[in-house]
Amino acid sequence: MEASRISAVFILVLWLFFASAGQAQQAAVKAPQGDVISLAEAVQLALEQSPQIQSMRSEKEATRARFDSARSQRLPGLQFNETYIHSNNPVFVFGSLLEQGRFGPHNFELGALNQPGAISNFRSSLDLNLPVFNRFRISTEIEKARLLDEQAAADIRWSEQQIRFQVIEAYYGVLLARAARQVAQQAVASAEAEVTRLRNLREQGLVVSSDLLSMEVQLAEFQQQEIEAEGDERVAQAYLSTVISQPLERRHRVRGQLDDRDFPVRSESELIGQALQRRPDYLKTEMAVSQREEEIRSQKGQFLPDLNLFANYGLSGHNLASGSGDFAVGARLSFGLFDPGRSSRIRESIALKDSARSHARNYANQVRLEVIRALQAYHSAHRRLAVAARTVDQATETLRIVKDRHGVGLTTITEVLRAQTTLVRTQLNLLNAQYQHYLGYARLLLATGTLLDTTPFEP
């Protein structure tokens, strides 16, 4: 009786153990291998975590602060001064007594004028200065600071578009690697089934051993391709993690698949015009020309006078608790009569502007060339995609026919192997053509400066 109770308990423990192990195994199978991430989420993550973008945003804050500082020069400047002097200098004593309102008849005595006693003077004053016209110096600094701020913003926009392209490349690179691995797995499964069929036929004496050996070699080659495809998928995952600034060991399950898609494409002339209007890197070269023009304007302004308004209010006393007030208002006009370097500086600024203009024209030609290359590459990818799709259909039909012929002894196993290899190759070519089609359109948008979001590429 006791032995049967122990046996029952032991069986119950074993049942609970295996049941929990089975549930754990099912949970492990159902557990996701990584976070599911969409293309838009990947782009957002890349833009938020990119050290390059963060650094550029800090530089943008600096250029904005510089612009605000330049604009503040138009405002009046107010300064407080507190001065203390103790001296027996006759001129100082005479003037200080007048400022303090303590000058009397006895101060006209010759002894008091020539050898006065030392006195102290506390002078508190408020000085107000307002620039009215300063030979375009302030306006030039403001405009140059504004252009620098816009250039920093252009750098950010251009870098963001480049990062979007990298994310699209990495994201669909994962989809490409995943699809290639699936093709390799299907090839292995098909070859394994064929090996099993040929082994059965050999046992029946219907095929020779060389046919089976040839198919086994084909199976080994497909298995090797599958191993390489798994490695390529891991590399693609690592590249995606790098682009979105995530740990390399973290794998993301991407959504969607490579499929046929039509992308709207404008004419070559329209795309070039769009690029010259919207490419942030090209707009920077135009801003550099504007900066040089501002420098010329500032240098020519050196032939003009400076005009500033000022006001002063002060208190003078022999201590801090007493004092006599006075004020002064006025205007100051200054004119440089002779500056031998002005003409040379103007010529230098003109030469630098011409250089910047030439650089902008050269960059415009490079932009045009990039657009033409991207457009032609996209058209080529689009045509290759159509050819690759037809080739897969043809290779599939060819393999079917060859298998049927081999089944009735009308062809050799070599033709079957060749047809299988061709089908796998054409399937991989189709996947690569689809990938290049996506990537070609993304590169075209980047070349025209219009890769502002990933809406056309969303699965």
Distances (CA, A) of 318 to 34, 90, 91, 111, 112: 81, 16, 16, 21, 17
Q: What is the mean pLDDT of the chain?
A: 85
Tokens standing for 317?
A: 């006393």
* Residue 430 within a domain: yes
Q: Note the pLDDT of residue 303.
A: 85
Mean pLDDT by 10 residues, the chain (459 residues): 40 40 39 68 91 91 92 90 90 84 78 83 91 87 92 94 94 91 87 82 77 82 87 90 84 80 90 95 94 90 88 87 85 86 89 94 96 95 90 87 77 78 87 92 95 86
* Residue 338 within a domain: no
Residue 422's contacts (CB-CB under 8 Å, 6 or more residues apart) are 395, 398, 399
* Residue 107 within a domain: no
Spatial separation of the C-alpha atoms in residues 358 and 229, rounded to whole Å: 49
End-to-end alpha carbon distance in the chain: 67
* Residue 14 within a domain: no
* Residue 85 within a domain: no
Strand ranges (E), 225-302: 252-254
Spatial separation of the C-alpha atoms in residues 218 and 210, rounded to whole Å: 12
Residue 388 in contact with residue 295, Cβ under 8 Å?
no
As for how many domains the chain has, the answer is: 1
Q: Note the pLDDT of residue 34.
A: 55
Q: Note the pLDDT of residue 11.
A: 39
Residue 392 in contact with residue 183, Cβ under 8 Å?
no
* Cβ-based burial of 201 (10 A; exposed 0-12, middle 13-18, buried ≥19): middle
* Residue 348 within a domain: no
CATH number of the CATH domain containing 451: 1.20.1600.10
3-state SS, residue 304: coil
Domain holding 366, by residue range, is: 34-74+133-307+357-457
Q: Note the pLDDT of residue 360.
A: 95
* Residue 362 within a domain: yes
Spatial separation of the C-alpha atoms in residues 453 and 332, rounded to whole Å: 56
Q: Note the pLDDT of residue 437.
A: 93
* Residue 112 within a domain: no
For residue 417, give the nearest of 130, 245, 211 by alpha carbon. 211
Q: Note the pLDDT of residue 24.
A: 39
Please say whether the dihedral angle defined by the alpha carbons of residues 47, 50, 52 and 54, taken in this order, is positive or negative: positive
Residue 442 in contact with residue 457, Cβ under 8 Å?
yes
Per-residue pLDDT reduced to its tens digit, 197-233: 778 877 877 777 887 788 788 888 888 888 988 898 8
What DSSP state is assigned to residue 448? T
| Sheet order of strands, 306-317 included | 77-87, 119-134, 306-317, 324-334
Spatial separation of the C-alpha atoms in residues 96 and 122, rounded to whole Å: 9
Q: Note the pLDDT of residue 97.
A: 84
